[in-house]
Amino acid sequence: MSLLIAGVVLFAAMHLFPAIAEAARDRLAGRLGSGPYRGLFSLLIAGSIAMIVTGWKSAAPAAVYAPVMSAGATTSLLVLSAFVLFAASILPTNIRRLLRNPQLTGVVLWSLAHLLANGDSRSLVLFGGIGLWAIAEILVCNHRDGAWLKPARTGIRSDAIVVLLGAAVFAAMFYVHVVLFGVPAGPSS
C-alpha cells in the first residue's frame, strides 16, 4: 500500500508544484531549459503513474466501508459528467462560463463516482487521494489566478460537441473498463 500512497502523493505534488511555487518552477525551468524541465516533469508524472499501477496491483484490498450498491445509475451519471467536463476543458463552451476549472471538477466527479462504487482501502487511497488533489488544485489555481473573468458566450454547437465527445468516451470506457482494469464499469450482477 505504501507504493500506491507514494505514487498518489508524487502525482499530486508534481501537479501542485507549478501552481504553488511558480517562482521556483520558473527558476528550475530557467536552469534546466524549457525542454529538459518539461521532460523531467513528464518523467516524474510517468513515474508516479507507474508507482500507482504497481502499488495498486501489489496492495491487498481491505474493506473500509460498504459501497453504495444502489448507486449504479448515479455512478454512471457522475462518470459521464466527468468525461463531458474533460472535453469542455479543451474547447470554448458555455460550460466554461459555469465552471472555472471543468477538467479538475470532472476529476472530482470521477473520484466521487469510484468512491461510491468501491469501499476498499486501495480505492480509498487512489480515488480519495486523486479527488483531494483535484479539490486542492482548484483552490490553489483559483487563488493564484485571482478574480474569474468568465469567457464569452459560445454557440450551442460547441456544447453539443463536448457532450457528444464525453458520451463517446464514456461509452468506450464502459466497454473496455473490464479489459483495462479487470472489473466491469457497471453493476456486475
SS (H, E, C) 71-93: HHHHHHHHHHHHHHHHHHCCCCC
pLDDT of amino acid 187: 63
Q: Is the pLDDT of residue 48 over 90?
A: yes
Domain that holds residue 135: 61-189
125: its cell numbers: 487511497
Same domain (yes/no): 76, 53: no
Same domain (yes/no): 96, 167: yes
Same domain (yes/no): 81, 139: yes
CB contact at 8 A, 83 and 169 = yes
Same domain (yes/no): 1, 84: no
Same domain (yes/no): 38, 70: no
Which of 13, 40, 59 is where one domain is finished? 59
Same domain (yes/no): 96, 169: yes
Measure the CA–CA gap between 140 and 69, rounded to whole angstroms. Answer: 34
**What is the percent of the chain where pLDDT is above 70?**
98
Same domain (yes/no): 67, 158: yes
Q: For residue 183, what pLDDT band results from cuts at 50, 70 and 90? A: confident
153: its cell numbers: 458566450
Which of 59, 81, 100 is where one domain is finished? 59
165: its cell numbers: 465527445
Same domain (yes/no): 18, 88: no
Region 158-162: mean pLDDT is: 94
Region 103-125: mean pLDDT is: 96
Same domain (yes/no): 87, 169: yes
The total number of structural domains that make up the chain: 2
pLDDT of amino acid 188: 54
Angle at which helices 156-181 and 72-88 cross, to 10°: 120
**What is the percent of the chain where pLDDT is above 90?**
75
Region 45-60: mean pLDDT is: 95
Name the nearest CA neighbour of 19 among 104, 110, 112. Answer: 104
pLDDT of amino acid 61: 92
Q: Is the pLDDT of residue 159 over 50?
A: yes
Q: Is the pLDDT of residue 40 over 90?
A: yes
Measure the CA–CA gap between 79 and 82, rounded to whole angstroms. Answer: 5
Same domain (yes/no): 150, 179: yes
Same domain (yes/no): 89, 174: yes
pLDDT by residue (tens digit) across 59-112?
999 999 998 877 788 899 999 999 999 999 998 999 999 999 999 999 999 999
Same domain (yes/no): 40, 79: no
Mean confidence (pLDDT) of the chain: 92
Which of 14, 29, 59 is where one domain is finished? 59
Q: For residue 189, what pLDDT band results from cuts at 50, 70 and 90? A: very low
Q: Considering the entire predicted model, what is its pTM?
A: 0.89
